[in-house]
Structure 1
Amino acid sequence: MKTADTIRVAGTSLHVDDTGEESLEPVVCLHSLFLDNRMFDSFVEEATGAFRLIRPDFRGQGRSAGTDRDVVTMEQCAGDIAALLDQLEVSRAQVLVSSMGGDVGVRLAAYRPDLVKSMIFLGSSARSEPADKVDAYMTWIDDVVQNGFTGERLEFVVHVMFGESTRASSRMKETVALWTDRLAQLPPSLRPAMAGVALRGDATGLLPEVRVPTLVISGEECPVRPPEWAEEFASGLPASELMMVPGVGHSPLLERPDLVIPKVLEFLQAQR
């Protein structure tokens, strides 16, 4: 049975959707910035009954509690997820992550390797933002906090999250419209999370510590984690496979679920 709960960890409250079957192998799903755990809805539909699916919203995002910090770091989020799994008595899980979820996931696997059995990275890398872009991102963040996710600000996020081919596709019109509407509703309280991603440190030095089997899936049209970043990322992981998806931007799971979900399920089944 699917359950939703609010769980206290590390001084905050995380919203967690958990299918709850303790007899099944757990898969922890960590979402992208700007989205939330609903980005995994289609995957959950396909995977329910085969795995226990645990989907938290990060601190200060989605339906989790807000924060009074100026910045929520990737390290803090990794600590939250580790504490959540300890509280749920999940001793080892396969982990499916997207974008910011990948930044958190690398740190989780490096700092708490006991918790991670395998990892699937979607639209992820371990780099920090280029130094020449950080100031512009922070200025944009302050603008969107003051003026909302509207107009050019909303258009920018949609272009970040979905590739050009996806945005132009009649087949993907409903998906893009659904998430555009959800993005338009994002609150100013997202600022600490946005700042945390923009100001994140470089984690490429942690990649050799992620010794579990890994699958890296990335879109060839991704503007913020481009193909060369994905290739660098996969080559830095000791036991990785790279899948580049043509005609896809930053959100492979949402843009090509017909390709990505079967590949993810195949990988998860192989690691049992």
Structure 2
Amino acid sequence: MKYIAVNGCKLWVEDTGDIAKPAILFSHSLFFDHTMFHHQRDELAGDYRIVAYDHRGQGRSNPAERAEQSMDHLTEDAAGLISALNLAPCHVIGNSMGGFIALRLAARYPDLIASVVPINSSGEEEHKKTDFAPLVESMAANGTEPLIDTLMYIMFGDTFLADPDRAKEKNHWRQKMLNLPKSIADSAHQVVFRQSILHELKDCRVPVFAIAGDEDHAYGAKEAKNIATASGGKYHVVDKTGHSASIEKYKVINELIINHIKNTNK
């Protein structure tokens, strides 16, 4: 792991696998960090160069002011990271907020991108502003603790939350969210008040494969279908899966990613 300076910010990066192999860049969800993709790293690193990073203002990357955490800023960070590490053309896998970035990369930097896989994501502006905006204000004032049950409900599906065999994982992510600083509200604000990217995906020449979960309490099959329609791509819905499919159904997600990349490279 190392810090990489891009776009006026130092990003915390985990770079695994042979640098001579095709690269996959993983971009994480709000409230998480690069470790949400360890299941993917562990399975895919034998055949690919796996790069996962923390967004500015999150994880171990440099803090940033709210205005500097917009989806446009984060997209420029990702493009800069791809160039700095000589990853192009790389596949970009993004969960939720990471998917917002992946889609912007596909639209704006097609020469850097081999394909994108937005998971549990959306290409639209936030349709639940009235629900989520008060949560952002509460986080800024009081942190995540008063909202932790709500956050767990948003970030995970019903099946995962009810599974006693996954109690250790649930507790791990619950504690990670409890430990977040109040400044996470700045990142959350930019997610809630982002702009639509769908209009930029018209005539997109980067292959797009959107993945949704049927138990996602934030973005579901409709959003995935809209991404596919706008970009000329494809979409798939995973059953009994919520908003963090790369964790909840990692074996299924890994298989979908592998098959997508193989089909893209034909």
TM-score normalized with structure 2 length: 0.94
Q: Kindly tell me: are residues 9 and 18 of structure 1, through their superposed partners in 2, closer, same or farther at Cα, counting changes over 3 Å?
A: same
Q: Deviations over 1:116-169 (max 9, x none)?
A: 011112101101112xx4254232212122212114x01111001101121112
**Contact 1:106–1:206 (CA<8 Å) still a contact in 2?**
no
1:209, 1:188 → 2: CA distance? 40
Q: Kindly tell me: are residues 49 and 20 of structure 1, through their superposed partners in 2, closer, same or farther at Cα, counting changes over 3 Å?
A: closer
Whether 1:175 aligns to 2:134 is no
Q: Which residue of 2 aligns with 1:125?
A: 122
Q: Which of 252, 261, 270 is 2:263 aligned to?
A: 270
- Report the secondary structure of 2:91's partner residue: strand
RMSD: 1.5
2:236, 2:9 → 1: CA distance? 36
**Contact 1:71–1:195 (CA<8 Å) still a contact in 2?**
no
1:233, 1:99 → 2: CA distance? 13
Q: Which of 4, 7, 26 is 1:7 aligned to?
A: 4
Q: Which residue of 1 aligns with 2:178?
A: 184
**Contact 1:109–1:116 (CA<8 Å) still a contact in 2?**
yes
1:234, 1:101 → 2: CA distance? 17
- Report the secondary structure of 2:55's partner residue: coil
Alignment of 1:12-51 (within 5 A): 12-19=9-16, 21-51=18-48
Unaligned runs of 5+ in 2: none
1:142, 1:251 → 2: CA distance? 23
Higher mean C-alpha deviation, range 92-101 or range 204-213: 204-213
Q: Which residue of 1 aligns with 2:50?
A: 53
Deviation at 1:259, TM superposition (A): 1.5
Q: Which residue of 2 aligns with 1:138?
A: 133
**Contact 2:66–2:187 (CA<8 Å) still a contact in 1?**
no
Q: Which residue of 2 aligns with 1:225?
A: 219
2:22, 2:217 → 1: CA distance? 34
Count, aligned residues? 265
2:123, 2:260 → 1: CA distance? 21
**Contact 2:103–2:197 (CA<8 Å) still a contact in 1?**
yes
Whether 1:90 aligns to 2:83 is no
**Contact 1:71–1:196 (CA<8 Å) still a contact in 2?**
no
Whether 1:235 aligns to 2:232 is no
- Report the secondary structure of 1:212's partner residue: coil
Unaligned runs of 5+ in 1: none
- Match of 1:167, as an amino acid? L
- Report the secondary structure of 1:22's partner residue: coil
1:69, 1:253 → 2: CA distance? 27
- Match of 1:56, as an amino acid? Y
Q: Which of 215, 226, 237 is 1:244 aligned to?
A: 237
